[in-house]
Amino acid sequence: MPLCAATLASMIVGNGPGGRLDIPLTLDDASRDAVHRPEDARMPQFQNDPTLPAPLFPGSHMVIDDDYVFLSGLTAEDIQGGETVIGDMGEETRLVMRRVQRMLGSIGCEMTDVVRVDVHITDLDLIREMDAAYAEFFDACRYPARTCTQSPRLYGGAHVEITVMARRPAERQAEPAEEEAAGDADDPASE
- The per-residue pLDDT string of the chain (191 residues; one tens digit each, 9 = 90 and over) reads 444 444 434 444 444 444 444 444 444 555 444 444 455 557 898 988 888 888 878 888 999 998 999 999 999 988 888 888 889 999 999 999 999 999 999 999 999 999 999 999 999 999 999 999 999 999 988 999 999 999 999 988 999 999 999 999 876 555 554 544 555 555 544 44
**Selection from 128, 127, 124, 130 nearest residue 96 by Cα:** 130
Q: Are strands 45-47 and 62-64 parallel, antiparallel or unpaired?
A: antiparallel
For residue 113, the 8-state DSSP code is G
**Selection from 45, 40, 43, 11 nearest residue 25 by Cα:** 11
Specify the pTM: 0.68
For residue 124, the 8-state DSSP code is G
Q: Tell me the domains of the chain and their CATH numbers.
A: 5-36 (no CATH), 45-170 (3.30.1330.40)
Contacts by 32-37 with C-beta closer than 8 Å and gap 24+?
32/4, 34/2, 35/2, 35/3, 35/4, 36/4
pLDDT score of 40: 52
pLDDT score of 83: 84
SS3 label, residue 112 = helix
